[in-house]
Amino acid sequence: MSDLFIRRVTALGHGRCDVLIQDGRIARIGSLAAPPDVEVLDGAGQVLLPGFVDAHSHLDKSLLGRPWYRREPSRDLQRMLADERDLRRSPDWDYEQQIGTNVDVLIASGVTHTRAFVDVDTDAGLRGLEAMLAIKHRYADALTIHVVAFAQSGVSGRPGTAELLDQALANGADCIGGIDPCLVERDPVAHLDLVFGLAQRHGSAVDIHLHEPGPLGAFSASLIIERTRATGLGGKVVISHPDFLGGIPAGQASALIEQLVDAGVAVTTNVSAGDPKPPLREMLAAGLAVGAGCDGERDSWAPFNRSDMLLKTNQLAWRHGLGTDDELELALRVATTGGAAVMGVTDHGLAPGCRADLVLVPGEVVVEPVVAVPAERTVVKGGAIVSRPGSAILRTPNGEQPRQG
Amino acid sequence: MSDLFIRRVTALGHGRCDVLIQDGRIARIGSLAAPPDVEVLDGAGQVLLPGFVDAHSHLDKSLLGRPWYRREPSRDLQRMLADERDLRRSPDWDYEQQIGTNVDVLIASGVTHTRAFVDVDTDAGLRGLEAMLAIKHRYADALTIHVVAFAQSGVSGRPGTAELLDQALANGADCIGGIDPCLVERDPVAHLDLVFGLAQRHGSAVDIHLHEPGPLGAFSASLIIERTRATGLGGKVVISHPDFLGGIPAGQASALIEQLVDAGVAVTTNVSAGDPKPPLREMLAAGLAVGAGCDGERDSWAPFNRSDMLLKTNQLAWRHGLGTDDELELALRVATTGGAAVMGVTDHGLAPGCRADLVLVPGEVVVEPVVAVPAERTVVKGGAIVSRPGSAILRTPNGEQPRQG
C-alpha cells in the first residue's frame, strides 16, 4: 500500500485538481500541496479516471500469442463449443500462459478489476479454474480478479459438470456462471435451481450468460428475478448480455427493468454489434446497475473483442448514440464504477476513502479519451504505479522483478 | 515516380511475396530477387494492402488541433448546421490549417485517396473550396483528393447557393454533392434536377448524402436512378449513407439494389451505429460498388469519427458481423478497392500496372490488422514512402522539407 501525489490532473467528476494517496487509498482531492517525500505523478494534460472494470472477461479463451486462428464460415454453436474444447486439449495449450498474456494486456490498458469467467466442463475439468486461481493470486497487487466457474458447455447434457462446478466454488471461485437456461440447457427451472443452489451453498455470486432473444430472454430473466428474491441473493446476481431487453415491447422492457432493479439483479453488456440493442439510457435512468466487459479477446468465437475497456467505452457510446459530453461521461461511469457495482466492489471511485485504483490517459477534458482512445495509459493499483505508457507491468505481483515491455 | 522493392510481405490476394515497383507502379509480384540499386523495404511480419480509400471525408469540418468542442444535448438539424457555420466565422478559423491537419492524420493512417466533401453555402461562400483545392494540389504527391462541392446547408432555402455550386465546379471541384432531396430540400425533383444538371454541364461526378430513412430514402434513390439513366452519368453517381436499404422489406431492397447496379449508381457507407443497417453482404453479392468513408473526424456533429480507414474497416466488419477470415478480407476490399471503384479510380489494387499506392501494417495474416488495428503504418504513394510508423509525413508534397512527427 503506497503513497502518491498526482498533480494537476483533470479528474472525472472533479475537474482540474490534485490527488493525495496515502496507504493505498485516496486521502484528499482538491487544490493541494504535495507533502514532502512522496512520489509525485505529473497529471498535466492527463485525465484521471477510476480504474476500468472489465466486468465480463474470458481470459481462459484468449489465443493471444498463439498462431492466427482461422475462422471458417457456418459453424453452429455446438461445433464452436467443441472446437474450443479441442483447442484446450492441444498438447501446446498452457492455461496459465494464455491467461497471463491476456492479464498483461488488461493491466496495461488500465483495467484494475475484472470478473473472469473460466470454463468448467467435463473435458477441461478444473484445469482452467486452477490456473485462473493461480493467476488471481500471483497478480493480486496489480489486478483484482473475481473468478467465475462457468458452465460454458452446459450442465444438463454433460453429466459430472454440476459436481465440477460445486468443486470449483469449494476451491475458491467467487461466482457461479450459468448459461442460457432455455436454449442451451433446455430446462430453465432445473438449471437456475442448480445455479442458485450452488450460490447459496457457497455464499457465492451469480452471473448468467443470457443470449436468448427478446421474449425468451425476458422469460428466463423473470425466472432469475424470482430466484434472486427467493434466495435473498439480491445484489449478488448479474445477467450478462441483456440484449433481450431491446427485443420486447418498450412497455414490457420498462416493467422488467423495474423488476431487475427491485430484485437487485444487475446487468453487464459486452456491447454487441447485433440488433436489437438494449435500451441503455432507460436502464441507467431507472437505476439499474450496468457494467461493461471486453468479453474474450482473440478467442475462437469471434475476432472483434479487444481487452481494452477504453475502446469498449468508445464502442458503448458509439453504439448507443451517447454523443454529448454528458453522455460520454455516463459511458465512462458504466466502464468504471458501474462495473464495480456489478462486481460488488464498494470502494471504487474518485472519492476520499476509495482504493487508489486509477488510470491516467491523455486528454484535455475527461471525455476526450473516449473519443480518441489513446494508447498511452498510466495505471495505479493500491496507490502504486503498475503500468506506464509503452511498457508492460512495472511492478509485477508480489514484488517480483519488474518487466519492461 | 519512384522505384521500390518490398521484400517478404504478406499481400492481400497473394500471400507471402515480393513486390517490385518501377516508375511509381507495381511492376511484378511474386518470388523475386531485388534488382541492384533499388530501395528495399523489409515486409517481414507486415501485411501489404492497397492504400486505404476514404471515399467520404469532410476535411473542412475537422476541429482537430482546436480546443475541445463541447457537445450539448437536444440540438436539432438546423441548430447544428447554424452552429457549424458560426464556427467557421470565428476569427481564428483557418480552413487550410484544419484541412491540412486532418490530411496529415489521414496520410499517416494509410489513406492514399479520399473523396473530400467541402461545404459550399452562402455564409462560407467558396472559402472552404479554395482552401481544399490548395491542399489538394499541395499534397498531390501524398494523397489523391477528389473535391466535392457540397450543399450541406441546402440549396432551396438559401438563394445564391446554386450559383456558388456552379462556380465551385468551374473552379475545379471534381464532384457535385447533393443532400436529402426530400427532408432537407423538400422538393426532390427540383434538387436532383439541379444536381444532375450541374454535373452534366461540368462533366463532374455526383455524390448525394441520403439520410432519409427506409421508404423515403428508397423513393429518393429511385429518383436518383432515373436521373442517372436519363443523363448517361452511370458510373459517376454515388449515394452516401445507404442505410435506407435496411429500412425497407428485404424483397424491395433486393430489387432496388439490382436497379442501382444496373444504373451504375455506387454507394458509400460511413458505418453508422444506428439501426437499421444496410444489407451489406447482399449489396456486395449483387455486385454493387460499395466504398466506406471516415466522415468527419472531431467535427461539431458527433465525436466518434476517426480518420483511420483501418479502424473503419474494423467497425464495418464488427457492425455487419463479418467475422470469418473470408469476410474480414471482404471488409478490407470495401475499404480499399471498393472505395477506389466508387471514386472512379481504375488503377488501384495489388496487380501489375496499378499505381503503387500502398500501406503496410503489422500482421501475421492479411486480416489480422482488421482485428488488432495496429497504429504502425508504412505508407507508399506512387512508389515513394510518404509515412513511416511513429512519424508524420516524411516526404511532404512537391518535395518540401520532410517533417518529423
CA distance A233 to chain B (A): 36
Q: How far is B276 from chain A (nearest CA, A)?
A: 8
Q: Which residues of B357-377 are buried (b: 16+ CB within 10 A; e: fewer)?
A: bbbbbbbebbbbbbbbbeeeb
pLDDT band at A400 (very low <50, low <70, confident <90, very high): very low
Mean pLDDT across the stretch A284-294?
98
pLDDT tens, A11-34?
Answer: 999 999 999 999 999 999 999 999
Task: Please name the helix (run of DSSP H) or strand (run of DSSP E) that holds residue A194, with its range, or none.
Answer: helix A188-202
Are the beta carbons of A72 and B319 separated by less than 8 Å? no
Q: Which residue of A has its CA nearest to B276?
A: A275
Nearest to A275 among B68, B275, B364 (CB): B275
CA distance A66 to chain B (A): 11
pLDDT for the residue numbered B215: 98
Please list every residue in chain B whose beta carbon sits closer than 8 Å to the beta carbon of residue A364: 67-68
Output b/e per residue, A179-208; b: 16+ Cβ within 10 A: bbbbbbbeebeebbbbbbebbbebebbbbb
DSSP code of A263? H
Residue A394 has pLDDT above 70, yes or no: no
The cell numbers describing A289, all together, are 446497475
Give the mutation candidate from B271, B371, B373, B377 for the A interface (greatest A CB count, under 10 A).
Answer: B371
Judging contacts by C-beta atoms under 8 Å, the chain B residues touching residue A71 are: 323-325
Enumerate chain A positions whose Cβ falls within 8 A of a Cβ in B. Answer: 67-68, 70-73, 273-277, 298, 302-304, 306, 314, 317-321, 323-328, 364-365, 367-368, 370-372, 375
Question: Residue A40: helix, strand or coil by DSSP?
Answer: strand
Q: What is the pLDDT of residue B402?
A: 38
Weakest-pLDDT range from A12-16, A158-162, B150-154, B274-278: B274-278
Does residue A391 surpass a pLDDT of 80? no
Check A274 against B321: CB less than 8 A apart: yes
**Cα(B307)–Cα(B302) distance, integer angstroms:** 13
For residue A77, the distance in angstroms to the closest alpha carbon of chain B comes to: 15
User: CB distance A304–B323 less than 8 Å?
Assistant: yes
Q: B325-333 and B309-319 are packed helices; what angle lies between their axes, rounded to 10 degrees?
A: 130
The shortest CB-CB distance from A273 to any of B73, B318, B365 is to B318
Q: Which residues of B touch A304 (CB under 8 A)?
A: 314, 317-318, 323, 371
With an 8 Å Cβ cutoff, are B73 and A304 in contact?
no
As a whole number of Å, the end-to-end CA separation of chain B is: 24
| Binding-site residues on chain B for chain A (CB distance < 8 A) | 67-68, 70-73, 273-277, 298, 302-304, 306, 314, 317-321, 323-328, 364-365, 367-368, 370-372, 375
Average pLDDT, chain A: 94
pLDDT at A392: 55
Q: What is the pLDDT of residues A33-85, one digit of tens each?
A: 999 999 999 999 999 999 999 999 999 999 999 999 999 886 788 888 898 99
- Over 50: is that where the pLDDT of A346 sits? yes
CB contact under 8 A, A73 and B274: no
Separation in Å, CA A44 to CA A329, A372, B70, B82, B273: 20, 17, 20, 34, 33
Planar angle of CA B397, B403, B405, nearest 5 degrees: 125
Taking contacts as CB-CB distances below 8 angstroms, the residues of chain B near A328 are: 303
- Averaged pLDDT, B21-26: 98
Scan for cell 485525465, then name that residue.
A47
Asked if pLDDT for residue A398 goes beyond 50, the answer is no
Contact A73 B324 (CB under 8 A): yes
**How many angstroms separate the CA atoms of A180 and A178, rounded?**
7
The C-alpha cell of B12 is what? Answer: 492481400
For A341, the enclosing helix (H) or strand (E) is helix A339-343
Region for B68 from its dihedrals, namely left if φ exceeds 0, alpha if ψ lies in -120 to 50, beta otherwise: beta
CB-CB contact of B11 with B387 (8 Å): no
Q: How far apart are CA A68 and CA B324, in angstroms?
A: 12
What is residue A262's predicted lDDT score, i.e. its pLDDT? 98
pLDDT category of residue A274 using cuts at 50, 70 and 90: confident
Tens digits of per-residue pLDDT, B165-201? Answer: 999 999 999 999 999 999 999 999 999 999 999 999 9
- Is the model's pLDDT at A1 over the cut of 60? no
For residue A313, the one-letter residue type is T
Average pLDDT taken over every residue of chain B: 94
Cis peptide before B276 (omega within 30 of 0): yes
Lowest mean pLDDT across B66-75, B289-298, B338-347: B66-75
Give the whole-angstrom CA distance, residue A67 versus residue A313.
28
Does B303 sit within 8 Å of A71, measured CB to CB? no
Q: What average pLDDT does this structure show over B245-253?
A: 98
Looking at the complex, report in whole angstroms how far the Cα of residue A11 sits from the nearest Cα belonging to chain B.
Answer: 16
How many CB pairs (< 8 A) connect A and B?
Answer: 70
Q: Which of A116, A140, A110, A137 is nearest to A128 (CA)?
A: A116
Q: Which residues of B touch A319 (CB under 8 A)?
A: 273
Q: How far is the C-alpha of B226 from the C-alpha of B220, rounded, in Å?
A: 10
Query: Cα distance from A325 to chain B (closest Cα, Å)?
Result: 6
Task: Decide if the complex's ipTM is over 0.90.
Answer: yes
DSSP H helical ranges for A206-286: 214-231, 250-263, 280-285
Residue B261, C-alpha cell as written in the block: 447496379
Exposed e or buried b per residue across A362-383, where buried means at least 16 C-beta atoms within 10 angstroms of its C-beta: bbebbbbbbbbbeeebbbbbbb
What is the mean pLDDT of the segment spanning B337-345? Answer: 98
- Smallest CA–CA separation between B75 and chain A, in Å? 10
Question: To the nearest whole percent, how much of chain B has pLDDT over 90?
Answer: 91
Taking CB atoms and an 8 Å limit, are B323 and A276 in contact across chains? Answer: no
* pTM, two decimal places: 0.95
**What is the pLDDT at residue B78?**
86
The mean pLDDT of A330-335, rounded to a whole number, is 98
The SS3 of residue A364 is: coil
Three-class HEC string of chain B: CCCEEEEEEEECCCEEEEEEEECCEEEEEECCCCCCCCCEEECCCEEEEECEEEEEECHHHCCCCCCCCCCCCCCCHHHHHHHHHHHHHCCCCCHHHHHHHHHHHHHHCCEEEEEEEEECECCCECHHHHHHHHHHHHCCCCCEEEEEEECCCCCCCCCCHHHHHHHHHHHCCCEEEEECCCCCCCCHHHHHHHHHHHHHHHCCEEEEECCCCHHHHHHHHHHHHHHHHHHCCCCCEEEECHHHHHCCCHHHHHHHHHHHHHHCEEEEECCCCCCCCCCHHHHHHCCCCEEECCECCCCCCCCCCCCCHHHHHHHHHHHCCCCCHHHHHHHHHHHHHHHHHHHCCCCCCCCCCCECCEEEEECCCCCHHHHHCCCCCEEEECCEEEECCCCCECCCHHHCCCCCC
B123, B60 contact by CB (below 8 A): no
Do B68 and A368 make contact, defined as CB atoms within 8 angstroms?
yes
* Dist. CA B319–CA B279, nearest whole Å: 11
Tell me what pLDDT residue A2 has.
78
Residues 6+ apart with CB under 8 A from B244: B210, B212, B213, B214, B215, B216, B217, B218, B221, B278
pLDDT, one tens digit per residue, over A199-256 is 999 999 999 999 999 999 999 999 999 999 999 999 999 999 999 999 999 999 999 9
- pLDDT for position B403: 40
B275/A273 touch (CB, cutoff 8 Å), yes or no: no
Strands in B175-179's sheet, in edge-to-edge order, are B52-57, B111-119, B144-150, B175-179, B205-209, B237-240, B265-269, B290-292
Q: Read off the pLDDT of residues A87-108 as tens digits, 9 standing for 90 and up.
A: 999 999 999 999 999 999 999 9
Instruction: Return the residue in B325, B332, B377 with the most chain A beta carbons within 10 A, the one to mutate for interface testing.
Output: B325
Tell me the pLDDT tens digit for each residue of B255-283: 999 999 999 999 999 999 988 999 999 99
Contact B303 A328 (CB under 8 A): yes
Gap between the Cα atoms of B248 and B276, Å rounded: 9
Residue B2: its pLDDT value, please? 78
pLDDT beyond 80 at A384:
yes
Residues of A in contact with B317 (CB under 8 A): 304
Mean pLDDT over A265-294 rounds to 96
Q: Which three cell numbers stand for residue A198?
A: 450452488
The separation between CA A348 and the C-alpha centre of its own chain, rounded to angstroms, equals 14
pLDDT value at A140 more than 80? yes
How far does Cα B37 stand from its chain's mean position?
Answer: 36
